[in-house]
Each structure stands twice: as structure tokens, then as C-alpha cells.
Amino acid sequence: MQIRELVLARGNKNVLATHETTFEVTKEAHLSKKGTCIVAVSANKASKDLSWQFKNALRSEKAKITIQIEADGITETVNAFGSRDLILTHPTDIVVRKSRYICDRTLAIQADKAACDLSRKLVEKLSNPDQEVSITLTVVL
């Protein structure tokens, strides 16, 4: 079984994507250079906005998730896992983590990539404020 969510967002001139353990997509439009994990802003969804079907699937111990980030024809795929402990209630953020740490912003854990692992060609696109970004979240049980 697969359940999919599409998150639409934008690039930002301050996207650095250098964080070593996480990456984040936020509904916030502003980004300072301190937000080294943020890869897209002005998202149309945060953790709390995801469908209950998607959240329930992601909370299965069998849940695997792929996060596909696409900007101007360049696509990067990140693989991670769900957890029964996911909270998924944050009003502005979605965070994917290499670790097992969980808070209300956490979408997935034990990811195979963080912001610093994304291709620099993609990051270049993500640092353009006019760039539309699509993030496809697919949970497989």
C-alpha cells in the first residue's frame, strides 16, 4: 500500500543546505542564513496539514517513506522511516532527520540524507527565490 502527499514550496536566496543531520521545509517565507537545514520555504503544508490517512500510515512500524524534492527538472530522493511515536502536529514545519529524535516537527527518522547531502545542483536551484519546489512524500507499508 502507498499513500502520497504533495507539498508545494519555493526557493529562497538564503538556502544553504549545509546541516549535517536534518533537512526542513517550512511554511514561513523568511529565512536567515542560520537556518542551514531549511531547503524550501512558503510551503503549502506543514506536519499538522498532512491527511490523517498519511499520518496513520507513517505511524506504522513498517512504514518506509521516500521524499522526492524536485526543482526545475532536478530531482533528489531521500529514504527514511516512520515511527509509531511520530506526533506530526507542528503548524509550520516538516523535518526529516538522520537520527531517531522525534518532536512535533519530525516527519521521518533514520534518513539516508540530510541537507548537506543534497546535490549542489539542486541546492543552487533551491537558492533561487523564484523557484517553485515540489516535495512528494510517499509512504509504503
Give the model's pLDDT for residue 91: 98
**Residues found in the chain:** 141
With a CB cutoff of 8 Å and minimum separation 6, the contacts of 29 are 41, 42
**pLDDT tens-digit map of 31-86:** 999 999 999 999 999 999 999 999 999 999 899 999 999 999 999 999 999 999 99
Contact 139, 27 (CB under 8 A): no
Among the listed residues 65, 69, 77, the one whose alpha carbon sits nearest the alpha carbon of residue 39 = 69
Show me where the domains of the chain are located. Answer: 2-140
Give the model's pLDDT for residue 32: 94
Give the model's pLDDT for residue 78: 98
Report the CATH number of the 2-140 domain: 2.60.120.630
Q: What is the DSSP letter of 62?
A: T
Contact 2, 140 (CB under 8 A): yes
Q: What is the pTM of this model?
A: 0.98
Rounded distance between C-alpha atoms, residue 79 and residue 8, angstroms = 19
Please provide the average confidence, as pLDDT, over all residues in the chain.
Answer: 98
